[in-house]
Amino acid sequence: MARPIWKGHITFGLVNIPVTLYSAEKRDELHFKLLDSRNKARVHYERVNEETGEEVPWSEVVKAFEYDKGNYVLVEEEDFKRAAPEATQAVEIQDFVDREDVDYVYYDKPYYLMPGKKGEKGYVLLREILRRTGKVGISKVVIRTRQYLAALLAEGDALVLELLRFDQEVRKPEEFDLPQSDLKEYQISEREVEMGIKLVENMTSDWTPEKYKDDYREALMNWIDEKAKKGEQFAPEAPPEEERVTADVINLMDVLKRSVERTEKEKKAKDQGARMAHTAKAKGQRSKRMEHRAQDA
- DSSP assigned state of 35: B
Which residues neighbour 130 within 8 Å (Cβ) at sequence distance 6 or greater? 136, 137, 152, 153, 154, 159
The span from the CA of 276 to the CA of 88, in Å, is 58
- DSSP assigned state of 14: T
- CA dihedral angle for residue 51, residue 56, residue 61, residue 63, rounded to 10 degrees: 30
For the cut 90, the answer to whether the pLDDT of residue 127 exceeds it is yes
pLDDT tens figures, 5-19: 888 889 888 888 999
Burial of 111 (0-12, 13-18, 19+ CB in 10 A): buried
Question: Residue 26: its pLDDT value, please?
Answer: 76
Three-state DSSP at 50 gives coil
Question: Residue 234: its pLDDT value, please?
Answer: 46
135 vs 26: which has the higher pLDDT: 135
129 vs 86: which has the higher pLDDT: 129
The span from the CA of 285 to the CA of 292, in Å, is 11
For the cut 60, the answer to whether the pLDDT of residue 236 exceeds it is no
Percent of the chain whose pLDDT exceeds 90: 23
159 vs 240: which has the higher pLDDT: 159
For the cut 50, the answer to whether the pLDDT of residue 247 exceeds it is no
238 vs 291: which has the higher pLDDT: 291
CATH class of residue range 4-25+81-169: mainly beta
Work out the average pLDDT over 40-61. Answer: 85
The span from the CA of 188 to the CA of 233, in Å, is 50
Work out the average pLDDT over 203-220. Answer: 82
List of E strands, the chain: 4-12, 15-23, 63-68, 71-75, 90-98, 107-115, 135-143, 146-155, 158-164
172 vs 234: which has the higher pLDDT: 172
For the cut 50, the answer to whether the pLDDT of residue 249 exceeds it is no
**Rounded mean pLDDT of the chain?**
82
For the cut 80, the answer to whether the pLDDT of residue 166 exceeds it is yes
Q: Which residues of 141-160 are buried (b: 16+ CB within 10 A; e: fewer)?
A: bbbeeeebbbbbbbeeebbb
Domain locations in the chain as residue ranges: 4-25+81-169, 184-283
| Least confident among 30-39, 107-116, 157-166, 233-242 | 233-242
Question: Residue 95: its pLDDT value, please?
Answer: 93
For the cut 60, the answer to whether the pLDDT of residue 297 exceeds it is no
Work out the average pLDDT over 58-77. Answer: 81
Q: Which residues of 273-297 are buried (b: 16+ CB within 10 A; e: fewer)?
A: eeeeeeeeeeeeeeeeeeeeeeeee
